[in-house]
Amino acid sequence: MILQESLWPGMTRQGFAHQSRVSVRSGDQALYPVTESGLWLPTTDVSVKSYEAALRLSDRLESYAPAFVESLAVTALRAVAIDDETGCWHVEGLSDDERVDALWDIAELDMRGRPLDAKATKAVLQICERQDCMNARHYDFTHQVKNRDKLLMPDMNHYHTRRDGTVVPVWELSEGSDIVLPSVEQSMADLRALQLRCLPFIDDPKLAPLTANAISKITIHPVTGCWMTRTYYNRPDDFDRGFMFDGYGRLGFGPSRKADGQPEGRFVAHRVLWDVFGRTLERGKVLNHECGFHPCCYPKHLTQMTTGENNAHARRMNAFLASGSIET
């Protein structure tokens, strides 16, 4: 779930015309097209430059991948008409199935990795309101990279929403635990408060606790309220070790935290957000995900505890889920 008038992954990621990421400056919110539901789209300048770069790429492919040039994706690219107000890439003459197939191929070219999302979820992923849009930046894709080959999502059957909106993991219900996750509404309010401390909303970028690129990588799960870090790594089926494959998100600190002594680089996202929320991790303690979802970085889903306590929580959760005794 993406909050209204906020950055999201498709607005900042690398792509056809951007080798690393799209820069965001103070006040840029005035440049973003806004959908009827209040969601931001990339600037039309980004959409136009992306399209121009896509055409140049298709021309280069003609020399060393002639078969691909005849593909539906390239045929669609060369027939695009750009909407001047929204940046949508409009293509006529395709069936619904052809449009989806071409969009996924265009997204793979754009993101340099295939979308991990199922094609059947196109309507859910689409941010703009033009149903025939082929601009991959108008979809909330999660794409494959070297160390990410699975789409990780919380299993909604593993959570119980109470009448007051708070959420309880089902393995905690069986234990009579007092662990309760905040409501989705509270999660949304907390993320919005953090977004307003970052670009493009602040005048001085040096005051931002997270970079624009980092804050754009956090979206909310609509059932659990998890802050889903989209820059996670998961363990391939044929790989049995390595901390980079732990499923945790990775984010870097923003300028204000670096000025206070936090290091450069990317770190596990839940520890970064724990710090950004002004919390200190005690010596000998680790952060436990009460939600049980590793890519989550919502500080109110975290509790610090000893490694032994953390391992005991994981064993209890895994044993309950493995038992198949889930009632929904």
| pLDDT, tens digit (0-9, with 9 covering 90-100), for 112-126 | 899 999 999 999 999
* Non-local CB neighbours of 164 within 8 Å, separated by 6+ positions: 183
DSSP 3-56: -TT---HHHHS-BTTBSS-----TTGGGGS-B-TTS-B---HHHHHHHHHHHHH
Q: In what order do the strands lie in the sheet with 232-234?
A: 232-234, 246-251, 267-268
Predicted pLDDT at 328: 38
Predicted pLDDT at 172: 87
* Non-local CB neighbours of 72 within 8 Å, separated by 6+ positions: 94, 98, 101, 102, 105
What are the residue ranges spanned by the domains of the chain? 9-138, 156-323
Question: What is the spatial distance between Cα 285 and Cα 308, in angstroms, rounded to a whole number?
Answer: 10
Q: Which position has the token pair 């009579």?
A: 176
Question: What is the spatial distance between Cα 113 and Cα 56, in angstroms, rounded to a whole number?
Answer: 19
**Max intra-chain CA distance, the chain:** 65
Question: What is the spatial distance between Cα 145 and Cα 150, in angstroms, rounded to a whole number?
Answer: 10
Predicted pLDDT at 19: 83
* Non-local CB neighbours of 69 within 8 Å, separated by 6+ positions: 58, 61, 62
Model-level pTM greater than 0.85? yes
Question: What is the spatial distance between Cα 160 and Cα 270, in angstroms, rounded to a whole number?
Answer: 23
Q: Which position has the token pair 């499923």?
A: 247
* Non-local CB neighbours of 258 within 8 Å, separated by 6+ positions: 264
Give pLDDT < 50 ranges for the chain: 243, 326-328
What distance lies between CA 297 and its chain's CA centroid?
Answer: 12
Question: What is the spatial distance between Cα 167 and Cα 49, in angstroms, rounded to a whole number?
Answer: 43
Predicted pLDDT at 265: 82
Predicted pLDDT at 327: 47
Q: Which contiguous run of DSSP H or E holds residue 313?
A: helix 307-323
Whether the upstream peptide bond of residue 33 has omega within 30° of 0, thus cis, is no
Predicted pLDDT at 66: 66
Shortest CA distance to 60 belongs to which of 50, 69, 51? 69
4-32 in b/e form (b: 16+ CB < 10 A) is eebbbbbbbbebbbbeeebebeeebeeeb
Predicted pLDDT at 261: 84
Decide: helix, strand or coil at residue 286: strand
